[in-house]
Homo-oligomer: A and B are copies of this chain.
Amino acid sequence: MADKQRRKPGETRDKLMTAALSLVGKGRHFASLGIREVTREAGIVPTSFYRHFRNMDDLGLQLVDELGLVLRKMMREARANVLQADKLMAESVAIFVRHVEANRSFFFFMAQGLAGESHAVQESIRSEMRFFTSELANDLRRMRLVEHLNDRDLDMTCDLVVRSVAFSLTDLLGISPDDEYQVEQVRNRTTRFLQLIFVGAAHWRSVEGS
């Protein structure tokens, strides 16, 4: 296959991606990063960059792919740990916050890419979010918590949920991860957002005709 890797499978490649991510994590904006800057951070000579990426946009796209893995891991953990329905939202939010803190740079990158980056990166992130939305819809359907909603309305609900959580990401990244008080604030607010949305979903049919 075209997938047989180089001698050490993408060691420098990883170093470059990690370096870019690290710069983003330090507050730099991905759009303002240059090739030389990234290679410098990675401890690599600038020319080597081109062995792995065509340009910075290319690197961005590959970062989105890795971001996808992070998101999937998060989803898996949520599926495994969120069992009883009553704590569903609070726990999901807690898991989300934990993953954000564990992969801060990745989520920085995601938040930045959502608005304004190279159109390709933007579309990829949006696509990841759509995937997340549809998986969430599947889960909810399976848990039989929303049987009165048709597919379209369920999808809308999940879309709104994912968006709200994604927006909370902005809050979360704006505060220090050590400021447990503020983190708790974000957790609570996000949880209440979700509760509000689901209260709306529970009573949605009754006003659908209006």
Contacts and interface: CB of A to CB of B under 8 A. Distances in A.
Interface residues of A, number: 44
Nearest to A200: B200
A170 B115 contact: yes
A90 to B, nearest CB: 11
Nearest to A169: B115
Contacts of A204: 196, 199
Nearest to A111: B115
Given A29-B31, A32-B32, A111-B116, 5 more contacts: A156-B196, A159-B193, A160-B193, A196-B197, A199-B206
A160 B165 CA distance: 11
The 5 closest A-B pairs by CB, nearest first: A200-B200, A29-B31, A111-B115, A199-B200, A112-B116
The A contact surface, by secondary structure, is helix
> How many copies of this kind of chain does the complex include?
2
Contacts of A207: 195, 199
Contact of A156 (B111, B116, B192): B192
Interface string A176-201: 00000000000001001101111111
A122 B174 contact: yes
A192 to B, nearest CB: 6
26 contacts: A29-B29, A29-B32, A31-B31, A86-B210, A108-B116, A111-B115, A111-B116, A112-B115, A115-B170, A119-B174, A126-B174, A156-B189, A156-B192, A156-B193, A159-B193, A160-B164, A160-B196, A163-B164, A163-B167, A166-B167, A196-B200, A196-B201, A196-B204, A199-B199, A199-B200, A200-B200
A29 B117 contact: yes
A73 interface: no
A202 interface: yes
A66 to B, nearest CB: 18
Nearest to A29: B31
